[in-house]
Amino acid sequence: MGNKKSVKHKVIDINYLYILLFLGFVLLLFLFNYDKIINLVSKSQQKKENVAVKHKQENISVLDAIVHAKLLLGIEEKNYKNRVGEEAIYISIGIDKSKLDLNYANIIITGQVNLVGGEITHGIEKNNGNKQVLEIADPQDSQKYKVTLYYSNSINKDTAKTQLAIVVDDFGIRNNTLLDDFCSLDSKVTFAILPDQKYSKLVMNKAATTGHETMIHIPMEPVSYPRNNPGPNAIYVHLSEKEIKRRMEHYIKQFPLCVGANNHMGSFVTTDEAVMKTVLKVLKDHNLYFVDSRTSQSSIAYDVAKKMLIPTCENQLFLDTPSITEKTLTKKIQQIKYLAKNKDKMLVITHCATEDRYEFLKEFIKDIKKLDFELVPVSELFKSDLPEIL
């Protein structure tokens, strides 16, 4: 019995020895490779932190990711709509079935959303596979999105009319028979009124009595300033954010009946993102739309407004430049017909400065009504942000 116990104790001792030797070997490996292990862990952690910092610095949101996915998919602007709702931002994306299917579009959008930390919280297929709805959460700002992918309706372009909005700029300076002439035009024409002018409020009230929609014609600094002066209390790039907000609130207070705004001059201001964000934030707070008059080819105002989810559009054509002749009228009509091939909504701008501009616009309206265009006030361009499919 004594010998058996002794053998048993020896076996246990040997097992303990093996365990200790193994642990010692592991410890030595760890000590010899300590720097490498620490560096590896550190690099991994740093990589995660760098990605997080990069996203934070770039402020990449789920909305940015969806817009980028739209570009990757080659979605036409007319097939991308959004609307801010109480519970979520609703986005619809029309897919050309002849070019790609919904599943592929879903994969691209999901991939872009995941890259910025967004999460697909729910997905469902409807209408026998002809529609997909994705519910997405953005952890950065707790914003929710509802994205609907659908096959765009094959509407016959020959039978569908293009909506056309006409804006007449620079009202407020005069009160004469020319103002009466413009007020006698089709009530679908929209008037843009300069603030702080002698007849600014009178024009707003007179336009209301004749059924014309009005907007604030915001004076903004042009590249050519001071040679070209935008007018009193204009928006300049050197102004502080506080002063820009004060001036914007001042304009809006003058025009309680105006439902939107566009820029007067502003070839310098509309290229400055920080200034435009301040201007547009005030408009958004007052539920006003924004039209980029495109006085500069470098303007970023329209893109900034879209990103801020403000109802927005941009000027496609100045009707009264470089001249207002019968030859010019024919040329402008041809340009608009050409542009309408790829657009279902358009906006053009002219000015109220002279009698011949009124006559030119009257003839333009007469000619355009004979074609496949529906004349609408500017606000009408934003009323169909989401198709009935939603």
**Beta bridge partners of residue 143, listed in sequence order:** 138
Average pLDDT, the chain: 86
Backbone φ and ψ for 170, nearest 5 degrees, come out as 75, 25
Residue 158 pLDDT greater than 80, yes or no = no
Q: Taking residues 298-320, what's their average pLDDT?
A: 95
Q: What is the mean pLDDT of residues 381-388?
A: 59
| pLDDT attached to residue 386 | 41
Backbone angles phi, psi at 277, to 5 degrees: -60, -40
Q: Which of 68, 146, 77 is nearest to 111 (CA)?
A: 68
Residue 319 exposed, middle or buried by CB count within 10 Å (0-12, 13-18, 19+):
buried
User: Does this model's pTM top 0.85?
Assistant: no
| Superfamily covering domain 62-151 | Beta Polymerase, domain 2 (3.30.460.10)
DSSP element (H, E) containing 192: strand 190-193
Is pLDDT above 80 for 218? yes
Q: Comparing C-alpha atoms, which of 267, 258, 294 is closest to residue 378?
A: 258
- 3-state secondary structure (DSSP) of residue 79: helix
Q: Where in the chain is the domain with CATH 3.20.20.370?
A: 162-381
Beta-bridged to residue 260, according to DSSP, are 215, 289
Query: Where does CATH 3.30.460.10 sit in the chain?
Result: 62-151
Distance of CA 194 to the CA centre of its chain: 25
Instruction: Burial-class residue 135 by CB neighbours within 10 Å (0-12, 13-18, 19+).
Output: middle
With H, G, I as helix, E, B as strand and everything else as coil, classify residue 355.
helix
Single-letter residue type at 262: N
Q: Is the pLDDT of residue 161 over 60?
A: yes
CA distance 312 to 381: 9
Torsions phi, psi of 81, nearest 5?
A: -130, 150
In the predicted model, what is the mean pLDDT of residues 111-128? 89
- Which pair of structure tokens corresponds to residue 281? 């934030």
Query: Is residue 165 scored above 80 in pLDDT?
Result: yes
Alpha-carbon distance of 109 to 111, in angstroms, equals 5
Distance CA 108, CA 70 (A): 9
Q: Tell me: the pLDDT tens digits for 7-56?
A: 445 555 666 666 666 666 656 655 555 555 555 555 555 554 554 444 44
CATH architecture label of 162-381: Alpha-Beta Barrel (3.20)
Looking at this protein, which amino acid is placed at residue 202?
L
